[in-house]
Structures are given as C-alpha cells and as structure tokens.
Structure 1
Amino acid sequence: MSAHTAGARTSTDGADDLATVDAFWRAANYLSVGQIYLMADPLLDEPLQPEHIKPRLLGHWGTTPGLNFVWAHLNRVIVRDEQDTLMITGPGHGGPGVVASAWLEGSYTERWTHVSRDAEGMAELFRQFSFPGGIPSHAAPQTPGSINEGGELGYSLAHAYGAAFDNPDLLVTCVIGDGEAETGALAGSWQSNAFLHPVHDGTVLPILHLNGYKIANSTVPARIPAEDLQSLLEGHGHRPYLVEGGFDGEDPAAVHDRMASTLDEITGEIRRIRSRAAAQHAAGQQVERPRWPMLVLRTPKGWTGPTEVDGRQVEGLWRSHQVPLPGVREDPEHRAQLERWLRSYRPEELFDDDGRPREHVSAHVPAGERRMSATPHSNGGELLRDLRLPPTADHAVEVPAPGAVSASATGTLGGWLAEVVRRNPETFRIMGPDETVSNKLQDVFTATDRQFLGRLEDTDEHVAPHGRVLEVLNEQLCQGWLEGYLLSGRHGLFNCYEAFVHIVDSMFNQHAKWLEESRRIPWRRPVASLNYLLTSHVWRQDHNGFSHQDPGFLDHVLNKKPEIVRAYLPPDANTLLATMEHCLASRDLVNVVVAGKNEQPQWLGPHEARAHCVRGIGYWDWASTDTGSEPDVVLGCAGDVPTIETLAAAGLLRTHLPELKVRVVNVVDLMRLQDERAHPHGLSDREFDGLFTTDKPVIFAYHGYPWMIHRLTYRRTNHADIHVRGFIEEGTTTTPFDMVMLNELDRFHLVIDVIDRVPGLAVAQSALRRHMVDERLRCRDHTRRTGTDAPDVADWTWQGA
C-alpha cells in the first residue's frame, strides 16, 4: 500500500482548514466521552463529582475517535466538492461518535428538539446515551444519518453498495472495522464492486479502519503482513491508499495533513474514473470495470484516550474497546484521570459559555441536506416514490374451471415482473443468488439483463454492465444490497430457494428490528417493504434431497412483532400475482411469499384470486359438499402442494363418502389464523368460528412445520379439534408424491385423518381406512420400481361435482 500513499495536498487547503477539521474532531471526541460517562456538568464548570457520573457506564470508546476523524475529514471534502455523501459506520460500537457529529451539525436537534444545541442540550445528549428511556449505544434508527445500526457486524459494505445502486450522484463512504472485516458477510461484500456501474450507480468508498483489536483480542487484518493485505484488496478490485498515524504520541496535525492529502487524491481519482466511464458510455462503448480506490486507515484503538490506567496500557490496545476508566464513580484517581482526558480536548476552545459549538468548529460543516447526518438518503422514505405497477390481469392465467389448466406460478409472475422493470427503470431491482432462471422468473430477461462489470464472454446470456437483476451466489450479499437499496428510498425483490434463505436469518432479524424502531420515530418516513419470494420449496425439492428441504424460515419470521411481518402462501399463479402486487405496494413490512415454480393445477381466475387475496382466507364452495348446512369436517390448507393434496382428499371423500359434509377452507394470508388481538390481519373469533366451526374436526394441511398452525390458533374455541399435517423433517431424494407421503401430508393420509376424527367413521369405515393405507403402499411400491409417481397421482386433476 505504500506505493499508493498520497503526496502533498492541493494548494486550496491550508493549515487553517485543517485546524477547523481538528476542532470538529476534538469536539466530537469530547462529546463522545461525555456520552459514555457524564450525566451532569457537561462543560466541566466544576471539578467532577461522583454525582456527575452515570451509575452504569455503558458504551464503547475504542473505535469512536477513528470514526470521528473520518467524519471530520469527509466534511471538508463535501463542502469543497459540493458532494452528496452518505456515511455508513460498520463498527457497531461507534455510536457515540455518530451521535456527537449529528449534534455538532445541528441535525440531531432538528430531529430531537429537546436535545438543544447548547449546554442544556449537551447535558441531555450525555444523559440519554445508553440510559433507561434514552438511546442505544449503536448508530440506531434514532440516530440521524444512519441506515446501518451495526448491532451485528458484517453488513455495512453490502448496505453501502445497496444505497449506491441507481444513485449516480451519491458518494457512499463505508467505515469497516477490522473486527468486522473478519465476518463472512463482510468478506463476501468485497465482491460488490464487480456490480457497480460507474455511470448509472453511485460511488462506494470503503475505509478499512485498522486499530488492531476487537473486544479482547487482536484482529486478523491488522496482523497480516501489509503486502498481503494490499494483495488481498487489489485482488478484490481496489486500489488501496494508506494513511497511518497517531502512534507513539505523534502530533495529530501530521496525521490530519496525510489524511487530507490522501482524500484529495482519492476523490480526484473517483472523478477521473467517472468521467472516463461517462465518455465511454456517451460514445456507445462498453463501460469498463474500474479499479476503485479505497482507504486503509491505521490508527491506535482508543486514540487520544488514556494511555495507561492503573499501570496497564489502554490506548492502542483492546482495553480501550469499551470503558477505559471503569471506576470513575468510586475511584477519585480514575475520576481525576477522566477529567484530565476531557480537558485534553480543550473544550473552552470548542464551545462557548452557553455550550454552543464555536464558529471554527462548524467551519467545515456542510449546509442543509449535504450534512451526512441530514442526507435524505439515510431516511429513504423522504425520497421514496410509488412503483408504477402494471395490471395483473394482463398477465393472469385464464381458468375456465378449477383445475382445468396447469401453469407455473413463478413463471407467470416472471412476465409481470418484467413489466414492473420496464415501468420502473431506476427504482426497482431483483436480487437473488443465481436462481432467477431456476426459479422460473426468466421472463424478466425480456426487459433487462443481469448487471455485471467483470469480464464478459460470448457465451454469457443476459449479462451486461447495466441491468436490473443482481445475481451473486451469496444470500447475505443479496440481503444486504436490498436492505441498503430499500432504506435509501427504492423498491426491490429478493428471490431465493426456500431452504437456503436461512443463511440470512440474522440479517432479517436486524432489519425487522430496525423497522420496528423506525415506526416509533416520527421523522423516520416509511420505506418500501422487504419482499422475499421463496420458491424451489420443500415439497418440490425431491430431486435435490434432504439438504434442500426446509420450510422453517416462516417460523423464524413469525417470531417478530406482528406489525412488521406478513406471510403469504398463494395456492396458484393468479393468487401469487395478486399477492405480489400487494407486497410491492406496501411499506415498512417484511413480506414472505412462498410459491412453487412447477407446473401445477390452477384453481382461481384473476377476479376470484384477487378477492381471495383481499380476504386472505376463503371457503371454497366449489370444492365443498356442505353447502347450506353445518359441515361434518373441515379440510383446511395453506400452501400450493397442501392445497393439491387437500383437494385430492376432498375428491376421494366425495367418491367414497358422498354423504359426508366436507368444507374446504384455503388460507393465503397465514396471519388470518391468528386472533385479531394478536395480529392486525387476525380474524375475530366470530369469523374464525364461522369458517372452522366450534366443535367439528379440522384437518389442516400446511406447507411448513405443523406446530406453527397450533401456535397461531391456540386461543381459538376449537383448537383441541384442529389436527395439522405438514413437514415433519422427513426427506430424501425421491419423487414429488413420495415426498408428501414421507411427511404424512398425502391425500390418502388426510382421508385417514378424517375417518379417525369424525365421530362414527372409525368403525363404519374401517375398510375404507384400510384401502387408504393400501393406496399409500401401492404408490410407494410404484416409485421404488419405476422411479416415478403412479400415473393416477402424477396426472391427477380435479373432477368437480
């Protein structure tokens, strides 16, 4: 990296400029320390007393001075270049610095008027940090300018690229902690620059901050040889620049000078890259993948903090990670050391007698929305525009009668999504792990290509430097891109194999929590919902086997607050179209849609499907035999394959027990099963009882793990009468019908359940029960002999009345 270390600064920047940068940095450091320790005496008007100190010291110092250093220098560049900039802070424990900079820039007070920009407000700023009823220690939704909380590490760089897509005028700087750099999510994110278009997209400037240590140990990136780190970063397509300083008592002025010079070179190089790409694009030439610059910043952990505490090194070591002086309330020496630390920033030079930042502290603070703490790109709902959604009727499957035609649900959706892309060429993207074609969404390639800036070859299909589909075989990267894209004001869809979306379980957790917190903050505007399309699902992964068979993401999602999550199981193509139209128009939600990709019978025409989706749950009279009377049994179903098996079972009951009154209820919106007091979409007890009765057996065929239905319905009057069939963790490489038989979800088993649970049938219909058992054995034997399902099962169609 030494080969790319910057030289002299431009003549437009002098010592006075860097003096103001230093003043902002010292002010931010002072405010950061104050947030960790103080609850009174913010300007040190009197010697610190125990009552001035918080009773519980919570917060993190170690990474904070480096973040403040970066923020101060970026402000100088923003003012000079009039550059719209979003700063993403990856180190999760740098919250004090981001909050401090937002307060210095005035945006914190604009958002939280009770935290005024004076001594009184400073005291409130300090008191609220990591305090009951206050704000978290991370750069949470409460923090202006933030879209990446960092409570869990690894997602910052993916978020940065997501925010940069389709934002050509935006510079997204991303500070990556060297502890964070050890995570798998961050390691995969370096590949993102192969997808960033230098004309249509913005610029991402990664800043790898090497301070050497994480919580209690050294970090790998800080300990590998410098030449190895440079080779690694160059291999990822970057040109790394190095700024190193602050060690062995070095004067910060020298480090400021090196940082300013290096940022000048980096921003100049970015301008040259974008200018060259714009010229290529204007000339109709292929835009080449640039080698984007990045910065490696090496400073001591806990820089400018206590050098030693109780005779042990603190600055430059892991001991500075959290609270360097832990005993300030009880220990007078620690308290005196804290006061010396705070006064080392010379607060009297930074704040006037009323506690307001002095003029030279704010000299390089950008104006208005150019402030990184006030950019609308960090509050994406301010920029969000509704999608222009095409009519679903233009892409619907004509269904003259239930079961009369077959179609692929996701294949049908692909045509509609292609039109969504055409109508929204700058605000909608589809992301997924190399599965767009596998998931039968290939019609989107009639409207767009996969975006990729790497080397293209003649054998590539639908791959180009610019496109609306982003594919990379890394679910975490897809999730991170989409989160950044949504939180900065756009729309998107993440399609994935159902079994492997679990890779982003924790990322989903963080996003759901972000949405939950954001809903409580009046100035956070609603953003487009995070939409999952899960296909290649458990019941049609018979060819890939047990490793691909897992419907548990639904269980994970439904653990979150009901106002945040939705789960949809459309039974056919037209209900999938109506469901996806609703999801793409929604705000501040996580929508999970599970639908198959295989050719399957279609049940509802476009108008019936839309009405069914509006209701979320429906009594299918055409499949039922209880018209005008109370049923003997209710067959419930949720999911496309469970719907097929339920209807097949209803057909068998019509044939063998024509006097039995059967009611078929299909569920699209899974949350309709829950009590209205527990979820906004829940049915009232009266509505639920009207569909499922209060005392009749309910045989419910469910897409996922059976206990989820019990969890959703445990408060219902007839919960004891609800018997659920679903995935019971039985799988292998086999045929589609053998897969449902393995899990006892097949039509024959559903009929057996009816016989076992409807009063009077167990004895009277013992022969029919035995026949159903024999049918299961016959179908099992057929698969073992031929490798295929029996024709009467594979070719089954609904016969109607």
Structure 2
Amino acid sequence: MDTTQSGLATAPLGHEELARIDAYWRAANYLTVGQIYLLDNPLLRESLRPEHIKPRLLGHWGTSPGLSLIYAHLNRCITARGLDMIYVTGPGHGGPAIVANTWLEGTYPELHPSVNHSEEGMKQLFRQFSFPGGIPSHVAAEVPGSIHEGGELGYALSHAYGAAFDNPDLTVACVVGDGEAETGPLAGSWFSNVFLNPVSDGTVLPILHLNGYKIANPTIFARISDEDRMSFFRGVGYEPFLVEGDDPESVHQLMAATLDACFDRIAEIRADARRSANGKPVRPRWPMVILRTPKGWTGPAEVDGVPVAGTWRAHQVPLSGVRTNPEHLEMLEAWMRSYRPEELFDATGKPAAEILDLHPEGAQRMSANPHANGGLLLRDLVLPDYREYGQETEGHGRTTGEATKVLGKWLRDVISANPDRFRLFGPDEVESNRLGAAFETTDRQWQADIYPTDEHQAPHGRVMEALSEHLCEGWLEGYLLTGRHGLFTSYEAFIHIVDSMFNQHAKWLDSSAAIPWRRPIASLNYLLSSHVWRQDHNGFSHQDPGFIDHVMNKKADIVRVYLPPDANTLLSTMDHCLRSRQYVNVVVAGKQPALQYTSMDEAVRHCERGLGIWEWASTDGGQSPDVVLACAGDAPTLEVLAAADILRQALPRLRVRVVNVVDLMRLQPETEHPHGLGDREFDTIFTSDKPVLFAFHGYPTLIHRLTYRRTNHDNIHVRGYKEEGTTTTPFDMVMLNDLDRFRLVIDVIDRVPGLGENAAGLRQRMEDARHAAREHTRTHGEDLPDVAEWQWPH
C-alpha cells in the first residue's frame, strides 16, 4: 500500500527534542484528565479521595490525546519555520485538551490571571472546566485561539478555508474528526481546495483524526479499506500522508517527519504558483495528514473487565464511578501518575522549563494568534456613497425597478474598493439574484479546469460560489471570524439549509460579546432574494419565508431583520448592515421588476426611522384614522397600496393610515429589543383602539409574537403566508394566502365598526374581483392586466 510516506526522514527528532515533545504531550494529557475529574489535589500531593472528584463528570477524553499530539508537533513547526498558524478543532468536544494547551502556552493565564502557572492556578483550571460558573466542555469562544465551537460537527474545514482566503501568510491547521467526516457539510468541504488560490490565499492543512469510533459506533473512514480511503482523498485533490501507531516514540518521530514533508511541499506549491502566477492556473495537490491512533490513547486499557482504550467506550469519561467506586478511584490515580507529573511541573505547579521552551512566543502561539480574535485585525470597509446609486423615481409607486439589480451596482464598487477584505458568497445564485454587476469588476474564484465557454471563472475572484449553502456559510463565517467582511446571498426558501449553522454562529457572537478580550467582528449579513411571493413559477418547494421566524428566536442583542420595500431602501439598509458589528443581519428583498416607492432622500429617512407613516398614501389627514393598513415586505407593500387606492376611490370619507415597516425589530417594545418602539410612540402610529390590518411577508404568527404586549394587540389582524402555494402567477400567490388587495379591502369592511352595512356593495365587488382574477389566471396563465400593471395613481 502506498501511504505517501516514501522519502520521509526516519528519525528527525534528536533525543532531547523528542523528550521535550513527549513531556509537553504528557503534560497536556495530564491537564486534560484533571479537568474532566478533579476539584482539588491537582498535583496529586496525596492519594485521591472522593472529595477531590467532581460530582458530575463531563468531558470527552477519547479524541483529546490526538488533539494534543497534533498541537505539540505544530508548535515545533511554528518555531522552526516561523509559521503564522491557527488551529481549528473539528472535534470541539475535545475541549479540555485545547484548554490544556492554551494553559501550557501561557495564553490562558494571561487572559485569566487567577488561572496562572501555579498549583492554585492548576486547581482553578481543573475546577472551572464544565462546571457551574466556569467554561463549556467544548472549544467555545472562551478558549483563546479558537474560531470554531465544534459542538455541532461538520463545519471545521469550511471555517478553515474561510479563514485562509485573503490571508496569504496564514496556515490553518484543521483537525477533522473521523465521526465528523461523515456529515454532509464536511463531506462537501473537502472540495474547498478547488477555490484556494496559492498566491493570494493562505494554506489549509487538513488532519483527519482517525481514532476509529463515534459515541457508540465505528466510523466509516476507519472501516473502509486503506486503498479506498487513500483513493478518496486523492480523488478530492489531496496528497495524503499517513501517521499511525500506538507507540508514542515512533508516532512522535513519524509525525515530525510527516509535518516536515507537508510544510516542505506547501512551500514548494506556493513558490511554484508565484512563479507561474501569470500563466495557466494549475490546481495544486495540497498535502493532508491522516493520523490513526487509538481512541482514548494512554487511558485505561480495561475497566470492569471490558476493553476501553481503543474502543468507543473511551469516547467520553472512561471511569464513570470514581466518587463511589474505590477501584475506579485507584485506577484514576494510577492513570494520572502514569504521565509522571513530578517531571512535568515544579514544586509550585509551574510547567517544567523544557515544556515552556517548546511552544512559540507571543502572537506566534496558536492560542494568541490575532487571526483567531478577528476583531483585532478588522478594518472598516471603504463604502461608496450608496445615495449615488439610487433608483430615480417619478412620484410614488409609478416607476418600475429591480431592487437587487440596483444593489448589485453598488456591491460591484464595494468589491473594487475592498480587494482584500470583502467577498460575496452564494450557492450558484449571484447572477440569478440579479447581482451580476459584480462580475463587471471581479470573477468567481476557481482553481479547477476552465473551458472557453465558461464565464467569469478565474484563479482569483471576489465571488465565491459553490452549490452548497453549508459551504458558503462556513466559508463566510471563517472569513468573518478572522477579521474580514462579506455578504451571503441565497434563495429565501433554501437558506433553511444553514439553520443550525446560523444558530451556532449567533451563539458564538452572543458568548464572545461577553468576553472582554474578544473584539467585535463584522456582522454576518444575509440577502434573501427569490423570495416566497415571487417563486410562483418554481412552485411550492421554493415558497418558504420561515427563516425570519428562526432568526427571531435568538437574543435581541444579536439579530436584526430588515424588509426594505424597494431599491432605495435596500441600498440604505445594506450600507447600514455592512457597517455594523457583532450582529446577524437578515435582509429580504425582491429581484423582480417592481414598483418603487421612495426617493433616495425619503428612503434614507424611512430607514433611519425603521418604520413610518406614508402620508402620501394615507387619507387620515394627520388625524385619528378609522383603520391602519400596515405592511412589511415588497409584495405586501404593493397589495396594501393597491387596497388603499381602492378604498380612497370607493370610500373617500374613510380615514386610512398606511404604515410601512422596514426594520421588523421596531415592532417590539423597547424593553425587548434595542430597536424597539416605546409603547407611547407605537400607539401614536398604530393607534390604541383602531383596527390594524397588517400585510406581512412571512408567517402571520410572527407579527403577533412581536406585538402581543401592545395596548391594541387584540385589534391587530395579520395577513401573510399561510403555507398555501403552487406553480401559479404572482397575484394568484397572494390570493391563495388571502394577502391580496381585494381581500384586504374586505378585511377593512369587516373590521371597521359600522362600515359593513354601508359598504356591502363594495364588499361584493371585491369578492367578484377575486373570482375574476382567479378565472383569468386559469384561462390565460397570467394575471389580469389591471392587476399586473397597477400603479399608484396620484
């Protein structure tokens, strides 16, 4: 079997260097076990007693020895080669191992002085791990050097590549667990090397940690043949190097030789690429490492008569009854003493000199690298004045434009002005979502073959497109977390694919905001187009506005949702989002030709307010209205205005107030969200006792969730998407969901006191109009001209 090991040095480590690396590794393992088990007696100055043990044993031992082995050897490479490197931990559940390494490097004590290099500091290190008031058991934001939580598996490699883009001097070592490698997102991430430019981007070194087991099952990569496994990784473009064994000395030597070969090969790839930068692009075969060592290596071989080390039983806590079972307690002590702590720490608890000499210094430490605290490196975007890109309008609701197409011209120049810190991400939908102007200044980055018939594919570009929402999201998150800016554009219905990734990133932002040494990063910005109301041609599968609901479940300090009704409000909104920090901003905007309602000056003021009365569409004359017609979203806005027009003509004495909402958070009370309206102001706009008919882009229940505490909530009636869809016409879509202008007029008649009996004829005409519109679509396959071509008449 060819394992890509021919030509490796047989023993690159001298006796002293081997001893130092092994001591460092043993120290990390000792500290890892201590975090899982101990409350007290950190240096084992006396025999362990039950009161020294934590009441709840939490943590994951199985992956930890491998993580620390990798960490120790990467430190050697950083020191020897002057590398700028961060460490992405796919098996983030191996948190105690990474914490142990950050403590040994001295970064953790610098940030947490009470957890210093002393016996008391070690005790605090052990006590705080996965303990009330302490730190999580996973590699969370609290762990210095991390950009990746790892509690939910599958995203490590896409984060690593995102960190490498536009970071030509950065190396990202990415450990992928063999269980994690079975997830869909990770499986797609191997192809990220197709997008990595060896001249302008950094290096990703994937390390598949092959220890054989998940929680209770073997892993696929561990049980397929060696030939198939190596063929797989060659097939996706890597040069795999195998390190395997269970004898520490031989594994240390092989790991050192392998990493030397990998970094020599990386240097060669980058040098060759720079020499031929102006020639035909050649996709390099980047090295990767497959590390095959036993699960729970160096831990108990057998517990209660069953094998543990090298099996799935080592995944979490190998000895579970330590507090109550004297035999387990004795085994734990023997396990910890097997690392010979008296050689690793001096009498005060400080790591021995040979251990401290192994790791790099200052910002070269992986736990102190500023790329892993991206806010330290974040630079503001150079943003052109969006006002100069505005859609010219003739009055209100009489000019047609394409909102995202207008935005695309501004984004084109954002890309030009920020060639090293802004990228546009999307799953093959940048052109589809009418942002094609970006290709006037850049291309899609692509390192694979390019055919003469291809358009906008090049080795270097600012647009990142792969038909995987997971991959785009992961790339963007890694890019943001290391101090850059970006925008993710997607079809609205399919952004749900990354629901869980959004969850994890939002939680990271929330946690990191409370950590003093974590600096704010650029916001995660979503632009959702091809939305529910204009997916009439693609049908039911493409009709889902529920991502907004999902986002709104997160903390108010983190999330923002915007529904600009036209091109100018979209420009203003996006400028605000790209300037913001530490948020998740969701912007929903249409791409199809649609009426434009605001001049640029009006759009700026309207977006600053977040919501407001459109006096030009209202008939209340500034007095108390009989009814409020509210809207949020471009299609609901159109239907509300058309309904207001019908009411103006048919019921000229009815006082109608039209309110448009751009910033959905304005509907919440100020006590619930920083953008929220106070009750007095809310009542001033929406009234405290009049019917409010709210036409909403998404599911109606969300508006009720946001307004349930308001004085007039019982009078708020919401029309929105109610899961009625098919392949049909735009107007038939809104009729299917009772959001159409005729239905809204009927709602006004039914809900304004005293109006019903005086407007019975109008109500009947509205029912007839709905019937006629439906018949027309069924006969002609398109909407009635009077509906499709409607404009605001005044």
Partner-residue secondary structure (3-state), 2:276: helix
Distance 1:207 1:12, change over 3 A: closer
Pairing 1:737–2:731 present:
yes
Task: With the length of structure 2 as denominator, give the TM-score of the two structures.
Answer: 0.99
Paired with 1:532 and 1:494, the residues of 2 have a C-alpha distance of 5
Paired with 2:204 and 2:418, the residues of 1 have a C-alpha distance of 23
Equivalent residue number for residue 440 of structure 2: 446
Which AA in structure 2 matches 1:157? Answer: L
Distance 1:490 1:12, change over 3 A: same
Identify the match of residue 544 of structure 2 among 526, 536, 550.
550
Paired with 1:789 and 1:620, the residues of 2 have a C-alpha distance of 27
Identify the match of residue 518 of structure 2 among 496, 517, 524.
524
Identity %: 65
Deviation of 1:608 (Å): 0.8
Deviation of 1:665 (Å): 0.3
The answer to whether the 8 A contact 2:12-2:253 is kept is no
Paired with 2:463 and 2:334, the residues of 1 have a C-alpha distance of 55
Deviation of 1:707 (Å): 0.5
Paired with 1:361 and 1:16, the residues of 2 have a C-alpha distance of 12
Partner-residue secondary structure (3-state), 1:192: helix
Deviation of 1:333 (Å): 1.1
1:455-466 equivalences under 5 Å are 455-466=449-460
The answer to whether the 8 A contact 2:8-2:261 is kept is no
Paired with 1:333 and 1:732, the residues of 2 have a C-alpha distance of 66
Deviation of 1:7 (Å): 4.0
Equivalent residue number for residue 592 of structure 2: 598
Paired with 1:45 and 1:499, the residues of 2 have a C-alpha distance of 60
The answer to whether the 8 A contact 2:564-2:634 is kept is yes
Paired with 2:98 and 2:557, the residues of 1 have a C-alpha distance of 29
Partner-residue secondary structure (3-state), 2:230: helix
Partner-residue secondary structure (3-state), 1:2: coil
| 1:268-312, Cα deviation, whole Å (9 max, x unpaired) | 00000000001001xx21331101010000000000000001111
Pairing 1:270–2:266 present:
yes
Pairing 1:420–2:414 present:
yes
Pairing 1:356–2:347 present:
no
Which AA in structure 2 matches 1:255? Answer: V
Partner-residue secondary structure (3-state), 2:717: strand
Identify the match of residue 780 of structure 1 among 764, 774, 778.
774
Pairing 1:491–2:488 present:
no
1:503-518 equivalences under 5 Å are 503-518=497-512
The answer to whether the 8 A contact 1:10-1:264 is kept is no
Equivalent residue number for residue 101 of structure 1: 101
Paired with 1:347 and 1:144, the residues of 2 have a C-alpha distance of 25
Equivalent residue number for residue 332 of structure 2: 338
Pairing 1:376–2:348 present:
no
Which AA in structure 2 matches 1:440? Answer: R
Question: What count of residue pairs does the alignment treat as equivalent?
Answer: 794
Paired with 2:762 and 2:549, the residues of 1 have a C-alpha distance of 35
Equivalent residue number for residue 617 of structure 1: 611
Deviation of 1:13 (Å): 4.2
Which AA in structure 2 matches 1:636? Answer: A
1:260-299 equivalences under 5 Å are 260-281=256-277, 284-299=278-293
Paired with 1:51 and 1:465, the residues of 2 have a C-alpha distance of 61
Pairing 1:305–2:273 present:
no
Equivalent residue number for residue 205 of structure 2: 205
CA RMSD of aligned residues (A): 0.9
Paired with 1:642 and 1:218, the residues of 2 have a C-alpha distance of 52
Which AA in structure 2 matches 1:41? Answer: N
Equivalent residue number for residue 791 of structure 1: 785
Deviation of 1:482 (Å): 0.4
Which AA in structure 2 matches 1:688? Answer: F
Paired with 1:33 and 1:628, the residues of 2 have a C-alpha distance of 71
Paired with 1:8 and 1:422, the residues of 2 have a C-alpha distance of 45
Deviation of 1:11 (Å): 8.4
Paired with 1:6 and 1:178, the residues of 2 have a C-alpha distance of 25
Partner-residue secondary structure (3-state), 1:18: helix
Which AA in structure 2 matches 1:366? Answer: P
Which AA in structure 2 matches 1:332? Answer: P
Deviation of 1:6 (Å): 5.1
Equivalent residue number for residue 23 of structure 1: 23
The answer to whether the 8 A contact 1:2-1:242 is kept is no
Deviation of 1:15 (Å): 2.2
Partner-residue secondary structure (3-state), 1:699: strand
Equivalent residue number for residue 119 of structure 1: 119
Equivalent residue number for residue 585 of structure 1: 579
The answer to whether the 8 A contact 2:3-2:240 is kept is no
Partner-residue secondary structure (3-state), 2:723: coil
Paired with 1:553 and 1:92, the residues of 2 have a C-alpha distance of 27
Identify the match of residue 721 of structure 2 among 711, 714, 727.
727
Equivalent residue number for residue 702 of structure 1: 696
The answer to whether the 8 A contact 1:7-1:262 is kept is no
Equivalent residue number for residue 86 of structure 1: 86
The answer to whether the 8 A contact 1:6-1:258 is kept is no
Deviation of 1:111 (Å): 1.2
Paired with 1:392 and 1:156, the residues of 2 have a C-alpha distance of 36
Partner-residue secondary structure (3-state), 1:94: helix
Distance 1:295 1:11, change over 3 A: closer
Equivalent residue number for residue 256 of structure 1: 252
Which AA in structure 2 matches 1:245? Answer: G
Paired with 1:112 and 1:431, the residues of 2 have a C-alpha distance of 37
Pairing 1:659–2:659 present:
no
Paired with 1:354 and 1:373, the residues of 2 have a C-alpha distance of 24
Pairing 1:716–2:689 present:
no
Equivalent residue number for residue 470 of structure 1: 464
Paired with 2:381 and 2:117, the residues of 1 have a C-alpha distance of 39
Partner-residue secondary structure (3-state), 1:398: coil
Paired with 1:794 and 1:61, the residues of 2 have a C-alpha distance of 64
Equivalent residue number for residue 314 of structure 1: 308
Paired with 1:117 and 1:305, the residues of 2 have a C-alpha distance of 25
| 1:150-198, Cα deviation, whole Å (9 max, x unpaired) | 1100000000000000000001010000000010010010110000000
Paired with 2:549 and 2:218, the residues of 1 have a C-alpha distance of 37
Paired with 2:496 and 2:623, the residues of 1 have a C-alpha distance of 44
Paired with 2:187 and 2:318, the residues of 1 have a C-alpha distance of 30
Paired with 1:27 and 1:709, the residues of 2 have a C-alpha distance of 55
Equivalent residue number for residue 35 of structure 1: 35
Distance 1:556 1:317, change over 3 A: same
Paired with 2:410 and 2:90, the residues of 1 have a C-alpha distance of 37
Any unmatched runs of 5+ in structure 1? none
Deviation of 1:120 (Å): 0.7
Which AA in structure 2 matches 1:128? Answer: Q
Deviation of 1:8 (Å): 4.1
Paired with 1:628 and 1:545, the residues of 2 have a C-alpha distance of 42
Partner-residue secondary structure (3-state), 2:525: strand
Any unmatched runs of 5+ in structure 2? none
Partner-residue secondary structure (3-state), 1:613: helix
Deviation of 1:331 (Å): 1.1
Paired with 1:193 and 1:765, the residues of 2 have a C-alpha distance of 66
Deviation of 1:5 (Å): 1.7
Paired with 1:113 and 1:697, the residues of 2 have a C-alpha distance of 59
Deviation of 1:399 (Å): 1.6
Equivalent residue number for residue 110 of structure 2: 110
1:170-209 equivalences under 5 Å are 170-209=170-209
Which AA in structure 1 matches 2:731? Answer: F
Deviation of 1:240 (Å): 0.5
Pairing 1:501–2:495 present:
yes
Which AA in structure 1 matches 2:765? Answer: H
Paired with 2:9 and 2:124, the residues of 1 have a C-alpha distance of 39
Paired with 1:364 and 1:799, the residues of 2 have a C-alpha distance of 77
Deviation of 1:3 (Å): 3.7
Pairing 1:325–2:312 present:
no
The answer to whether the 8 A contact 1:6-1:265 is kept is no
Partner-residue secondary structure (3-state), 1:222: helix
Equivalent residue number for residue 390 of structure 2: 396
| 1:523-563, Cα deviation, whole Å (9 max, x unpaired) | 00000000000000000000000000000000000000000
Paired with 2:628 and 2:239, the residues of 1 have a C-alpha distance of 65
Partner-residue secondary structure (3-state), 1:135: coil
Deviation of 1:607 (Å): 1.0
